[in-house]
Structure 1
Amino acid sequence: MTTQGSQTSSASSVSQASQTSDERVPHVLEFPGGYTRSTGPVIGRFLTGLRSGRIHGVRTPDGKVLIPPTEYDPVTAAALGAADEDWVEVGPAGTVTSWTWVDEPRGDHPLDRPFAWALIRPDGADTALLHVVDSGSKAVMATGMRVHATWRAERTGSVKDIASFVPGEGPAEVPVLAGEAELEPVSLVTLPHRLEYRLRPGTVWNHFIDGMAVGQIRGTRCPTCGKVYVPPRGACPADGLPATEWVDLPDTGVLTTFAVNNVPAAGAPEVPFISGYVLLDGADIAMLVLVSDVPWQDVRIGMRVRAVWVPPGQRTRSVKNLKWFAPTGEPDVPYERFEEYV
């Protein structure tokens, strides 16, 4: 691969970056709209029962009742739940086997007031279900206490159809679900996936982000093996020595591999979109990027690409300044020139 355009940056830039090393940068990992998956016959039957206001466990060959049900016996690996007689209705009352108290619920918690996370063994079951106990007070909670399920009026086939467990034997009334007779068994679920956290970048990552703020991709070079890593590494993963030399890389490279994605993702320009690995000119490791400005049918490995940046006046200290890579129109790179990076 060509290395034209690569240059070593000054040490003064590194010391400048270290002055901002205490800054914490917000990050979000998520599947926008949630992650959709099939339930399979066992979990599907369990969720369908919850939608009807009933808790079902599955019986193993040795007579134990598992809740939540599993598709296979955890001891013998025998398939479970194939026959109707394998299924047992349990609860809705049960016993708390262990618990922990939440004084200050977060926004994504199931209740907006103090509550307990608890393992609850429903009557008739041999294992416990993780759920919430709305006891009203920590003083009420105790291992061995009796609780019963309360149900939501609107139920979709989710463990959240149980609004909470509350102290006492119950049973609580199960609200009628409108149109339940016409509903199909639960076979698909969409699960929200979102993780927010704040990251202290450190000297190396700060210097990389400083480059992104001005439309420059920076990597580090190992002084021993000479390999250039981007995103930068503080130490060479090949020999474990500090990678102390900074390299300003061109924003052009070759697409070494790619995937066509049909699930929406944050930052993706459209669906379907292309994610792939681009080996920048002068780098020794490919980095994961988005590829756009080209029909997905025309994307191919070996394609020459160039970074598409956020306009200078709109940039922040963020990797999002690099929107995606787009074809340059140059001839494709022969496979043998990048095959070791695939």
Structure 2
Amino acid sequence: MSRTLQAPVTVAFDYTRSTGPVIGRFLTGLRDGHVVGGRTSAGAVVVPPLEFDPVTHEPTTDFVEVSSVGTVTSWTWVPEPVKDQPFDRPFAFALVTLDGADVPFLHALDVSSPDEVTTGMRVRVRWAAERTGHINDIACFEPVAALDEVEGGAGGPDRARPQPRNEAATEQSRSGDVPAAPVTGVVTRVSLDYDYAASPEESLFYRGLNEGRIMGQRCPTCQKVYIPPRSACPADGTPTEEEVELSQTGTVTTFCIVNVPFLGQKITPPYVSAYVLLDGADIAVLHLILGVPADEVRMGMRVKAVWKPRDEWTFSLENIDHFAPTGEPDAEFDTYKQHL
């Protein structure tokens, strides 16, 4: 059996940002079915618009609606798309200079093979079926047929084949209501997938959890017991090899009461997150304290591990659902004051 464990890990969160007046103007345009650029002091039209002029550093105030049709100036083929890319099939990323703009704009180009892409080819925006004021309101670019160019005439091909606008905005236009409010903020999912390879010492810890045990290691020099175990004692650098099965009871050293709800929260506030110094350990572990009102948790409280049902165990500290009071008298401060 291999000494080390390995597992896929995903770190993800929703990133919320305010757009400001410039990017907000651009995203509002996408929501409503048109592309807005900004003119710099040098006269160049940039899509998306720059928040500040690159020469004068003044805020951008001159906005220009450009065509949703343009020319491919450069491109690269994506033969094996990865998670969260625009398509789950091969496609191209292309720099497209939209008619009326002077700087190319990067987005996906929906073609079935690299033989269908050439620098200089004409493409148009394919709008998303539903738009919210996000860059993904442009689903992708798609090739423009020669016939479309001819039919477009002087007004351009996007004028010959107008794209549907946001339904809510269209309905307001029909009824004479005030247009939809401008976009002032966006929420973007940020995610990172990677394979985590645990050290031999961490693997000992995780294997123990999968067996219902809490494992640490002792430094042979200072005799301190660390959990999770590490390859060397941080105090004196001595390799830690002696395995120690720790008690499942311990003492609350420090804690906080979580009162604020947030996205992805599994427990309804208020609840307590605390450092628990297990009996026999020299470093505390962070976990939940449940089974007692949040305002009754205190430093020195004696607690014990409460495990999830056996069929839910895996190689994770989450096998311990929480810590709960044992009912024992509180520990004396002197017994844990060095571990705050």
Interval containing the TM-score (normalised by the shorter chain): 0.7 to 0.9
What TM-score comes out, normalization by structure 2 length? 0.74
User: Which string of whole-angstrom CA distances, capped at 9 and with x for unpartnered residues, describes residues 150-195 of structure 1?
Assistant: 1123111111110101234743632132221453222343333444
Q: TM-score, normalised by structure 1?
A: 0.73
**Residue 208 of structure 1 pairs with residue 208 of structure 2:** no
Q: Distance in 2 between matches of 1:128 and 1:89?
A: 15
Superposed counterparts of 1:38-77, under 5 Å: 38-60=18-40, 65-69=45-49, 71-72=51-52
Aligned residue pairs total 317
Match of 1:30 in 2: 12
User: Relative to structure 1, is the Cα distance of residues 233 and 147 closer, same or farther in structure 2, using a 3 angstrom cutoff?
Assistant: farther
- Change in CA separation of 1:303 and 1:42 when aligned onto 2, cut-off 3 Å: farther
1:80 lines up with 2:59 in the alignment: yes
State the structure with bigger RCO (CA 8 A, min sep 6), 1 or 2. 1
Aligned to 1:15: none
Indicate the residue corresponding to 2:262 in structure 1. 263
Residue pair 1:208, 1:218 contacting (<8 A) in 2 also: yes
Aligned-residue offset at 1:225:
4.8
Task: Supply the AA of the counterpart residue of 2:285.
Answer: M
Find the partner of 2:107 among 97, 111, 131: 131
- The residue that corresponds to 1:320 in the other structure is 318
Q: Are residues 1:234 and 2:223 paired?
A: no
Q: 1:131-170, aligned counterparts within 5 Å? A: 131-143=107-119, 145-168=121-144, 170=157
Correspondence list, 1:226-305, <5 A: 226-238=223-235, 240-251=237-248, 252-258=250-256, 260=258, 261-265=260-264, 268-271=266-269, 274-298=272-296, 303-305=301-303
Gap runs ≥5 in structure 1 = 1-18
- SS of the aligned residue for 1:179 comes to helix
Which has the larger Rg?
Answer: 2
Shift in alpha-carbon separation, 1:331–1:102, aligned structure 2, 3 A: farther
Residues 213, 66 of structure 1: alpha-carbon distance in 2 compared, 3 angstrom cutoff: same
Residue 262 of structure 1 aligns to which amino acid in structure 2? P
Quickly say closer, same or farther: Cα 1:334–1:24, change in 2 above 3 A. same
- Structure 2 gap ranges (5+): 150-156, 173-178
- Structure 2 CA distance for aligned equivalents of residues 233 and 156 of structure 1: 48
Contact 2:123–2:143 (Cα < 8 Å) also in 1: yes
In structure 1, the residue corresponding to 2:167 is in which secondary structure?
coil
RMSD after superposition: 3.7
The code of the aligned residue for 2:314 comes to T
Shift of 1:52: 0.8
1:187 aligns with 2:184: yes
| 2-structure distance, mates of 1:63, 1:238 | 63
Q: 8 Å contact 2:251–2:331 — kept in the other structure?
A: no
Query: Could you give the per-residue CA deviations for residues 291-315 of structure 1, whole angstroms, max 9, x where no partner exists?
Result: 4334445556665543221134543
Alignment partners' CA distance in 2, 1:125 and 1:338? 67
Distance 1:73 1:269, change over 3 A: same
Q: Given that residues 93 and 149 in structure 1 are in contact (C-alpha distance below 8 angstroms), is that contact kept between their aligned partners in structure 2?
A: yes
